Each structure stands twice: as structure tokens, then as C-alpha cells.
Amino acid sequence: MALLEAKNVNVVYKVKEKEIKAVRNVSLDVEVQDSIGIVGESGSGKSTLAMAILQLLPNKIAKTTGEIVFDGVDLLKISENELREIRWKDIAVVFQKSMNSLSPVHKIGYQMGDIYRVHEPNATDKEVKERVLELFRLVNLADRVYDLYPHELSGGMMQRVSIALSLIYYPRLLIMDEATTALDVVTQGQILEEIMRLEEKLHLTRMMITHDVSVVSSTCKKVAVMYAGCLLESGYVSDVLTNPKHPYTQGLLSSFPSLTGERNELRGIPGSLPDLSVAHKGCVFADRCKKATDICFVKEPRTVKFPNSWNVSCHLIGGEDCDQLD
Ligand SMILES: Nc1ncnc2c1ncn2[C@@H]1O[C@H](COP(=O)(O)OP(=O)(O)OP(=O)(O)O)[C@@H](O)[C@H]1O
């Protein structure tokens, strides 16, 4: 059984008179100990999907429908109290600037201890400190960080503290939303390597939200490609990023330096994301797709399933009316 199953998830933001369809009909399975990268350009709905999984979107501005089943429980059907039990303990998240939520006037160790006590109210001071230091070691932080204030940390140390905090209850699913994007490549590489080691040790399942395909290719087993709120292609990194089937994935990959070291010309994808508040017909990518044919503008593509959990939503791939693209 999958640890997380998203079925036909839709998220609509209500802004003034407009309805922005930020996530559209997304279905995705995440198995235990998977590491899955959610990639796509800015505004494609990656963070919204993560926030929907965590049920952190305020009801007033966003409506989520479909099913988000975590360990057999549909997160859209349970109470806020039940969700609070699951968040952090079972599903934790690290954002790009998670540290901003810490108080600037208290030392790191003290604040982490406080957070640990939320679910472990009976822990002694000694146990709490031991747990915090154990987490520091897991993410390669020196013990002295315990007595530092947030402003005394470098960017890399801050993100390590954020990751340590997210792991405080040893969650089963860790969502990293651009968690290392702002760091220099060396620090980013070190932290990602540590995360991969932790995964083995703690049997973590990781969902990694990023616009950086190379991060996914080097740290994830699976990948899901989003565009304008839709999931266009998903499967194993070794399939999807080596031999992409969807024209959007192909375009995304040719906008990045080669993952295998060959020197290829970099090409962007001309055009921009469609207006998500306007109803569209056909495939969301059709307007920018060099290979689009008539059907792409009038009919929404269905998801075509290939062996090895490889799913592609494109009329041109094994679709009813067209030939294979590749
Ligand atoms: N609070 C909000 N209110 C209204 N619209 C929003 C809100 N948050 C996001 N959106 C819209 O939803 C769409 C998806 O945004 P989202 O942040 O999920 O994309 P993303 O792929 O994570 O982008 P980025 O990489 O830039 O964070 C965008 O059109 C965005 O403008």
C-alpha cells in the first residue's frame, strides 16, 4: 500500500471575483521509502500541492477536493485536531525559510526543546537536550549550536536546524519545499547527501519540491512533472529524466545543462504559463507545445500508463489519435 495516495486532487484559490485553479486533477502515489521530486516552473502548483497534502491552506482562500490518503486515512476528511496529531509527527515539512518561524530572542536548543515537548510533554530536561543534540548530529551540526541564537547561524546552518526540527519526531514523510535552493551548491550538495543518508537510517519517505531538475536527478528515485497545476508525466527518474516522453518534460530538460555531462545547446520553452483563472480547453501545455496537433487544443488528454509506473498525459503519446512521439 502506498504511504500517500493523492486521487484527483484539485485546489482552487478564491481571490476577489476570480477562481485560480492551482492544482488540477492530480493523482499520485508515494510508496514507503520513495524519494519523489515534484518539478515544474514557477507557478506550476508544486507548493500548493504540498500545502494541500499538509492541509495548511486556509479554508477561506483555498478549497481542496479529491482524496489525500496518508497511511489509509483521508486527510481531507479528518478534524483539525486529528490533523495536528499527524503534522510534524508523521508528515513534516521544511520550507526555504522555515527558520523565520523561530523566535529571534531565544536560543536554538531552548526553542527546539519547546517544540519537542508539544507531543512529548513528560520528557525530562535531560531527555529533551539529548534528543536535540542527537538531531544536531544527524544533520551535521556542532553541539554548540544549542546555545546560539538564530541570527548567529549561517544560511547552511539555519537550513540544517530547520531539517533537524522537521525530524524531531522522526516523521514518516518529509516534504522539502525548495529547502536547499537558496544555498550555495557545495552546502546544498552536503545537506542533500546527509538527507539521503538519513533516509536509509530513519526509513524516511521524501517528497522534494524544486524547480531544479538536476537536484531531482541526483537525489530522488522518482519524479513528477507539473505544469499549470496538472501532472504531465511521472515515474522513475531513470526513465523520465533519461528518456522523457512528454514534450514539456523534454523542453524542461533541454532548459538545463545536460545531466550526463554532454554539451548540448540549452533551449528554453518559449511562452509562459496560462492564466490559471481562465477555463481552458484541451491540454494545458498545448499553446507552448511545438508538437501540438488539433486534438490538443480541444480535448483534455487522458493519462497513459506505461510499465514501471510511468504515466504520461499527452495525446501524442500512445493516445488514441496520434503516433508515438519518440
Ligand atoms: N495564497 C494564494 N492566493 C491566490 N493564489 C495563489 C496563492 N498561492 C499561490 N497562488 C497561485 O497558485 C498558482 C500556483 O502557485 P504555487 O506557489 O503553488 O506554484 P509553485 O510551482 O510552487 O511556484 P514557485 O516555485 O514559484 O513557488 C500560481 O498561479 C499562484 O499565483
Is residue 165 classed as helix, strand or coil in its secondary structure? helix
Residue 278: which residues within 8 A CB-CB, separation 6 or more?
Answer: none
Q: Are residues 279 and 198 in the same domain?
A: yes
Domain-embedded: residue 319: no
Out of 112, 147, 170, a domain closes at 170
Out of 125, 151, 170, a domain closes at 170
Domain of residue 130 covers 98-170
Distance CA 300, CA 247 (A): 15
Domain-embedded: residue 61: yes
Counting atoms of ligand 1 from 1, which one is nearest the CA of 49? Answer: 18
Going from the Cα of 21 to the center of ligand 1, the distance in angstroms, rounded, reads 10
Out of 123, 150, 170, a domain closes at 170
| b/e sequence 251-283, b meaning 16+ C-beta within 10 Å | bbbeeeeeeeeeeeeeeebeeebbebeeebebb
In 3D, which of 243, 246, 261, 268 has the Cα closest to residue 312?
A: 246
Distance CA 80, CA 54 (A): 11
Distance CA 262, CA 283 (A): 32
Q: Are residues 43 and 116 in the same domain?
A: no
What local confidence, expressed as pLDDT, does residue 68 receive? Answer: 97
Domain-embedded: residue 222: yes
Going from the Cα of 195 to the center of ligand 1, the distance in angstroms, rounded, reads 26
Domain-embedded: residue 127: yes
Distance CA 56, CA 80 (A): 10
Q: Are residues 234 and 268 in the same domain?
A: yes
Counting atoms of ligand 1 from 1, which one is nearest the CA of 276? Answer: 29
What local confidence, expressed as pLDDT, does residue 52 receive? Answer: 96
Q: Which long-range contacts (CB under 8 A, 24 or more apart) does 99-106 make?
A: 99/150, 99/153, 99/158, 99/159, 99/161, 99/162, 102/150, 102/161, 103/150, 104/149, 104/150, 104/151, 105/149, 106/149
What local confidence, expressed as pLDDT, does residue 1 receive? Answer: 72
Q: Are residues 197 and 290 in the same domain?
A: yes
Domain-embedded: residue 42: yes
pLDDT tens by residue, 203-238: 999 999 999 999 999 999 999 999 999 999 999 999
Asked if 86 contacts 74 with a C-beta cutoff of 8 angstroms, the reply is no
Domain-embedded: residue 326: no
Domain-embedded: residue 22: yes
Ligand 1 atom 12: the closest Cα is on which residue?
22
Distance CA 295, CA 282 (A): 7
Ligand 1 atom 16: the closest Cα is on which residue?
45
Q: Are residues 180 and 56 in the same domain?
A: yes
Q: Are residues 160 and 177 in the same domain?
A: no
Looking at the 3D structure of the chain, how many domains does it have?
2
Say if ligand 1 is within 6 A of residue 47 CB.
yes
In 3D, which of 109, 116, 312, 310 has the Cα closest to residue 230?
A: 312
What does pTM read for this prediction?
Answer: 0.90
Q: Are residues 275 and 151 in the same domain?
A: no
In 3D, which of 170, 174, 233 has the Cα closest to residue 207?
A: 174
Domain-embedded: residue 144: yes
Say if ligand 1 is within 6 A of residue 44 CB.
yes
Asked if 225 contacts 237 with a C-beta cutoff of 8 angstroms, the reply is no
Asked if 12 contacts 155 with a C-beta cutoff of 8 angstroms, the reply is no
Look-up: residue for cell 507539473?
226
Is residue 32 classed as helix, strand or coil in its secondary structure? coil
Q: Are residues 210 and 304 in the same domain?
A: yes
CATH number of the domain to which 297 belongs: 3.40.50.300
Question: Counting beta carbons within 10 angstroms of the beta carbon of residue 233, is it exposed (0 to 12), middle (13 to 18) or buried (19 or more)?
Answer: buried
Going from the Cα of 69 to the center of ligand 1, the distance in angstroms, rounded, reads 23
Counting atoms of ligand 1 from 1, which one is nearest the CA of 40? Answer: 21
The string of DSSP letters for 189-258 reads: HHHHHHHHHHHHHHT-EEEEEES-HHHHHHH-SEEEEEETTEEEEEEEHHHHTTS--SHHHHHHHHTS--
Going from the Cα of 35 to the center of ligand 1, the distance in angstroms, rounded, reads 23
Q: Are residues 287 and 201 in the same domain?
A: yes
Which cell is 258 given? 545536460
Q: Are residues 85 and 25 in the same domain?
A: yes
Ranges under pLDDT 70 in the chain: 98, 257-267, 319-326
Beta bridge partner(s), residue 38: 209, 224
Q: Are residues 53 and 132 in the same domain?
A: no
Strands 222-227 and 35-39: parallel
Say if ligand 1 is within 6 A of residue 56 CB.
no
Q: Are residues 223 and 108 in the same domain?
A: no
